[in-house]
Amino acid sequence: MDKQTIKVVAKEFYRYLDNEKGAAFNTRRAYRSDVEDFIRFVEQSAADAVDHDTIRAYIVNIYKGLKKSSLSRKVSAIKMFFKFMKKKGYIDENTALIIRSPRIEKHLPKFYTIDEMFHFLDFLPRDGWLNIRNRAIFELMYSTGMRASEVLSMDFEDLHLDGMWARVMGKGGKERVLPFGDKAKEALEAYLAIVGKMDKFSTNKALFINFRGDRLTYRGLLRIMKKHQIKAQLFKNLSLHGIRHSFATHMLDNGADLRGIQELLGHSKLSTTQRYTHVSMDKLMEIYDKSHPRR
């Protein structure tokens, strides 16, 4: 494939990610950035055609400056791009298949203990509609284990207070129905009671908005969480995803079935959920010490 054609095909690939693949927003943004980075390298190279030698040269060029996780994602993006081109008939052979992804060290997910999580939630201010909104978001996230991107993409129609469940669209366009508890319901009721009287919600379908009336962004919610962590004197370096990790770990520690947690989290593979069996080893050891007759 020549250099000009690959730029045209890339635009079609981006539309494919948006409309057909059903990839999450952050995944689409990352893959688009990765493919564009690859195309810039191709344009600056002396090669006339884009083949496996071009891909190898690109990987060698970026290898030293990236973490293994970032390099692995870039390799995945290129492989998906070339798979798309072969599927659409632009190339006869997927030359990216020969590129191996680097091995990534598996890190155990960071999470709050139950006491830390309760302190995080109970320390949230209860005055002002923005604080009430924040409480509703974090209570809902911890009660359901949904991703931050999922809770932020929710519309009013996705929330069912009477039945105490929420509908979310996960990775790959997979819909899940998630139950939530009394604490989350109470926080959501307080939030809805206020926003129902606000004009900026009259024409807005988004469930959680910012002070300008736009849908609250991931970056905005992360900034809120970091500020609150400091105020609550919780200095563990926890991301928004850490609330999801906390949910899964606490559920497992309290006897929830691994398959059930898999369904709630929306993992396509059980092996993804099994990461939490490692972080719960202390709990297993505690049960063992209490139960085994010859410890």
Single-letter amino acid code for the residue at 147: R
Range with the poorest average pLDDT among 5-9, 133-137, 220-224 = 5-9
Is there a contact between 143 and 181 (Cβ–Cβ < 8 Å)?
yes
Instruction: Tell me how far apart the alpha carbons of residues 18 and 24 are, in angstroms, rounded to a whole number.
Output: 9
Cα 75 to Cα 280: distance, rounded to the nearest angstrom = 32
Structure token pair of residue 109? 């997910």
Q: Any catalytic annotation for residue 88?
A: no
**Entry pTM:** 0.67
User: Between residues 276 and 159, which one has the greater pLDDT?
Assistant: 159
> Does 119 participate in catalysis according to the annotation?
no
Q: For the domain with range 3-98, which CATH number is right: 1.10.150.130, 2.40.30.10, 3.30.360.10, 3.90.1150.10?
A: 1.10.150.130
DSSP line for 98-116: GPPPPP-PPPPPP---HHH
Q: Which of 73, 74, 133, 147 is catalytic?
A: 147
| Alpha carbons 119 and 139: distance in angstroms, whole number | 12
Query: Is 29 annotated in the active site?
Result: no
* Cα 157-221-18 angle, rounded to 5 deg: 60
Q: How many CB atoms lie within 10 A of CB 84?
A: 21
**Lowest mean pLDDT: which of 3-7, 33-37, 128-132, 213-217?**
3-7
Domains 3-98 and 114-288 are alike in CATH topology: no
The mean pLDDT value for 58-70 works out to: 80
Q: Which CATH superfamily is domain 114-288 in?
A: Intergrase catalytic core (1.10.443.10)
Contacts of 103 (CB under 8 A, 6+ apart): 68
Amino acid at 127: D
- pLDDT digits over 19-32, tens only? 766 666 778 888 89
> Which of the following is catalytic: 74, 176, 244, 250?
244
The Cα 68–Cα 74 span in angstroms is: 10
* From 83, 110, 241, 275, active-site residue: 241
Give bridge partners of residue 167 from the DSSP assignment: 177
HSE, CB side, 13 Å, CA atoms: give it for residue 180.
31
Task: For residue 131, count CB atoms less than 10 angstroms from its CB and return exposed for 0-12, middle for 13-18, buried for 19 or more.
Answer: middle
Active site residue 160: no
Give 49's strand partners: 2
Q: Where is 256: in which H helix or E strand?
A: none
Active site residue 171: yes
- Active-site residue identified among 183, 267, 275, 283: 267
Taking the C-alpha atoms of residue 81 and residue 96, their distance in angstroms, rounded to an integer, is 9
- Domain residues of the chain, as ranges? 3-98, 114-288
- The reported pLDDT for the residue numbered 108 is 67
State phi, psi for 22 to the nearest 5 degrees.
70, 25
What's the rounded mean pLDDT across residues 273-287? Answer: 68
Between 114-122 and 241-253, two packed helices, what is the crossing angle to 10 degrees? 130
Rama region for 145: left / alpha / beta (φ>0; ψ in -120 to 50; rest): left
Residue 151 has pLDDT above 90, yes or no: yes
Average pLDDT, rounded, for the chain: 85
Q: Which of 171, 185, 215, 275 is catalytic?
A: 171
DSSP per residue, 124-140: S--SSHHHHHHHHHHHH
Q: Which residue in 113, 105, 146, 131 sits closest to 267, CA to CA?
A: 146
What are the structure tokens assigned to 261, written together?
A: 């947690």
- 13 versus 95: the higher-pLDDT residue is 13
- Does the active-site annotation cover 58? no
